[in-house]
């Protein structure tokens, strides 16, 4: 009898293993993807390498992303692909000096290398997908589609503190997608030879969202419940996306964390394409005809371009502060097609997606964004510059509220020593991602009960939103109402020894509209 039971269990184990392996294979129009199980959470399935557009290489460098053809190719999705082409700056930052796990993994390359990022490439238009291990085509799970930050110049999927396995493990009821998109000169060249085409990051974003909407059901997702979410530059992209594709956003909801189209830090506009021409001439493409200049630059090796631009920019900051700066960012390429000069005007014209939104800020955004100093930036600068984001959230939320759209606001104000290891950091720009992704667990140092509780509440509230935005009030997160007494309600996380509390809008953003009001960076 015992032998029969053992044999039965062995057969069952083999059958389960075969079923599990079968669930690692997903068929889509653009390919067959073979994924794996997460090493830490065996109830989480991942597909780390999923192309969503044709590689923008060779003649496709500096062109709009192209949709993939039909394919039955079997693709190994168990290993991350490269990030999009970028440079590892030699300029000290808090990300390199004080905290770990918040930069793209470059396999041993110094965090201050001053060189082309080893784990980046032009063939990079891929996304990654995390699902419950038992998800099937009948699961119809809500989806978060995340876009990373990086100031329009760096970023990518393979950033340890942005990997969502913990969150999917806890919920077992949603899917998370994260996305690579082109950055810096390969995204925002503003080359005259392109005749106005550019802002390729936003075009990449659209094609990625289209791919997910078309194919996510095969992974167990519900294409009618896709919430797009971005942080920092990714957040600004999501907000701009809602003003670009306002009549067909595809997404059912949107979350913006720490950057908004209104109030996005302005950088030098380059209407004449002088920055690209300067780089081209410096790399041997010295032609008066913009078309010839562009074609020549398409033949220059990617690492040579990234090293020239990055090292020139580093030199402008570290050595020769009088040297003319060159930038390749979204705000430097206002084309009135993907990026607009006046987002307030577009809101007033009704040119913004009619979907529910969440806008979030951190209490000390700029403690990590100002030029690095060992003892931290001046407090008055942290306060002054943090208000750029806080007031951007306030002004945008006010416009949406007046338009009758459901909007929810949060402030991340936690200060946990494992994720903020130096005292002047506090609730810095990016640190809320530790909470949402559950990656505070990999940060070295003590983890308190409050930190665990705060992360779980933040994860659960976002899950409530992507599952059914209309449930937020009943779950304890009131909608934002700028006309209410004391400026409406904002949900505050991690402050005052509490995982979550509801505070007045005026207590957070009063300095944006009340004369004499003072902004509090340490609530």
358 pLDDT above the threshold of 70: yes
Please report the pLDDT score of residue 325 as a whole number: 82
Write the CB contacts of 193 (distance below 8 Å, at least 6 apart in sequence).
Answer: 289, 290, 291, 292, 293, 294, 295
- Model pLDDT, residue 4: 37
Record the tokens describing residue 315, joined without a space: 């030199």
pLDDT of residue 323: 80
Q: In 3D, which of 126, 216, 204, 138 has the Cα closest to residue 176?
A: 216
Domain limits for position 512:
356-523
- Domain membership of residue 412 (yes or no) is yes
pLDDT over threshold 90, residue 318? no
Output the pLDDT for position 21: 61
Determine contact, residues 443/154, Cβ cutoff 8 Å.
Answer: no
- According to DSSP, residue 217 is labeled G
Does some domain include residue 507?
Answer: yes
Structure tokens at 122: 């032009």
pLDDT band at 22 (very low <50, low <70, confident <90, very high): low
Give me the helix-helix angle, 233-244 and 200-215, nearest 10°. Answer: 80
Catalytic residue among 232, 367, 431, 455: 232
Give mean pLDDT, residues 336-351.
93
pLDDT at 5 over 70: no
Identify whether 365 is part of a domain: yes
Q: Residue 360: is its pLDDT beyond 70?
A: yes
* pLDDT score, position 506: 97
> What is the spatial distance between Cα 416 and Cα 448, in angstroms, rounded to a whole number?
8
Give me the residue label for tokens 């997606």.
353
Task: Assess whether 470 carries a catalytic annotation.
Answer: no
> How many structural domains compose the chain?
1
Strands 120-121 and 87-88: unpaired
Q: Where are the alpha helices (DSSP H) in 200-232?
A: 200-215
Q: Mean pLDDT in the chain?
A: 93
Tens-place pLDDT, residues 369-414: 999 999 999 999 999 999 999 999 999 999 999 999 999 999 999 9
Residues 6+ apart with CB under 8 A from 293: 191, 192, 193, 276, 277, 280, 285, 286, 287
For residue 392, being part of any structural domain is answered with yes
pLDDT of 6 reads: 38
In a domain, 231, yes or no: no
Contact between residue 187 and residue 152 where contact means Cβ atoms under 8 Å apart: yes
Token match 């470059």: residue? 106
Categorize the per-residue pLDDT at 269 as very low, low, confident or very high, splitting at 50, 70 and 90: low
3-state secondary structure of 75: strand
The pLDDT of residue 333 is: 80
Per the domain annotation, does 409 fall within a domain? yes
Residue with the larger pLDDT of the pair 468 and 108: 468
What was the pLDDT predicted at 272? 75
The per-residue pLDDT for range 113-138, each reduced to its tens digit, is: 999 999 999 999 999 999 999 999 99
Q: Give the integer Cα–Cα distance in Å for 514 and 435.
A: 31
Residues in the chain: 523
Give percent above pLDDT 90 in the chain: 88
Q: Tell me: pLDDT of 2 over 70.
A: no
Specify if 154 maps to a domain: no
Burial 151-173 (b: 16+ CB within 10 A, else e): bbbbbbbbbebbbbbbbbbbbee
Tokens of 18: 């075969």
Dist CA 510 CA 497 (whole Å): 23
Question: Is 523 a domain residue?
Answer: yes
Q: Which is nearest to 86 in space by CA: 120, 39, 114? A: 120
The per-residue DSSP string of 119-156 comes to TEES---EEEEEEETT--TT--EEEEEEE--STTTS--
**What is residue 332's predicted lDDT score, i.e. its pLDDT?**
72
pTM of this structure: 0.94
CB-CB neighbours of 481 under 10 Å: 14
pLDDT at 266: 57
Report pLDDT for 330.
Answer: 86
């Amino acid at each position: 009898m015992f032998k029969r039971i053992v044999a039965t269990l062995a057969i069952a184990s083999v059958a389960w293993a075969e079923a599990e392996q079968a669930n690692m294979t997903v068929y889509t129009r653009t390919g067959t993807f073979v994924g794996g199980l997460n090493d830490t959470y065996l109830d989480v399935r991942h597909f780390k390498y999923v192309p969503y557009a044709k590689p923008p290489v060779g003649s496709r460098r500096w062109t709009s992303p192209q949709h993939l053809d039909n394919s039955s190719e079997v693709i190994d999705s168990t290993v991350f692909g490269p990030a999009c082409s970028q440079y590892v700056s030699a300029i000290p930052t808090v990300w390199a000096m004080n905290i770990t796990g918040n930069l793209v993994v470059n396999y041993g390359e110094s965090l201050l290398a001053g060189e082309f990022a080893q784990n980046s490439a032009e063939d990079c238009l891929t996304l990654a997908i995390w699902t419950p291990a038992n998800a099937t085509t009948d699961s119809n799970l809500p989806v978060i589609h995340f876009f990373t930050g990086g100031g329009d110049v760096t970023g990518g999927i393979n950033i340890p503190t942005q990997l969502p396995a913990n969150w999917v493990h806890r919920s077992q009821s949603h899917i998370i997608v994260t996305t690579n998109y082109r950055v810096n000169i390969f995204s925002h060249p503003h080359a005259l030879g392109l005749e106005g085409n550019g802002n390729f990051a936003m075009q990449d974003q659209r094609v990625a969202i289209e791919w997910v909407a078309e194919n996510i059901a095969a992974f167990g997702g519900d294409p009618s419940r896709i919430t797009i979410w971005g942080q920092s530059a990714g957040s600004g992209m999501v907000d701009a996306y809602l003003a670009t594709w306002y009549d067909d956003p595809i997404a059912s909801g949107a979350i913006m964390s720490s950057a908004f189209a209104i109030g996005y830090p302005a950088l030098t506009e380059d209407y004449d394409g002088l920055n690209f021409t300067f780089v081209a001439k410096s790399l041997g493409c010295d032609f008066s005809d913009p078309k010839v200049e562009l074609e020549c630059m398409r033949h220059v090796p990617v690492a040579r371009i990234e090293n020239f631009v990055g090292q020139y920019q580093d030199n402008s900051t570290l050595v020769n502060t009088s040297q003319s700066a060159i930038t390749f960012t979204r705000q430097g390429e206002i084309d009135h097609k993907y990026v607009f000069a006046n987002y307030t005007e577009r809101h007033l014209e009704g040119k913004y997606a009619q979907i529910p939104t969440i806008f979030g800020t951190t209490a000390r955004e700029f403690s990590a964004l100002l030029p690095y100093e060992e003892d931290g930036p001046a407090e008055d600068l942290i306060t002054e510059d943090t208000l750029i984001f806080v007031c951007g959230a306030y002004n945008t939320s006010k416009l949406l509220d007046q338009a009758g759209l459901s909007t929810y606001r949060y402030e991340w104000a936690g200060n946990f020593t494992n994720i903020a290891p130096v005292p002047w950091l506090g609730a810095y720009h990016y640190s809320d991602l530790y909470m949402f992704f559950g990656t505070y667990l990999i940060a070295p140092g003590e983890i308190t009960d409050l930190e665990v509780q705060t992360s779980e509440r933040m994860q659960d509230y976002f899950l409530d939103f992507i599952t059914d935005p209309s449930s937020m009030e009943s779950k304890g997160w009131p909608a934002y109402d700028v006309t209410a007494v004391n400026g409406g309600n904002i949900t505050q996380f991690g402050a005052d020894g509490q995982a979550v509390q509801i505070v007045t809008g005026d207590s957070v953003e009063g300095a944006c509209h009340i004369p004499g009001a003072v902004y509090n960076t340490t609530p």
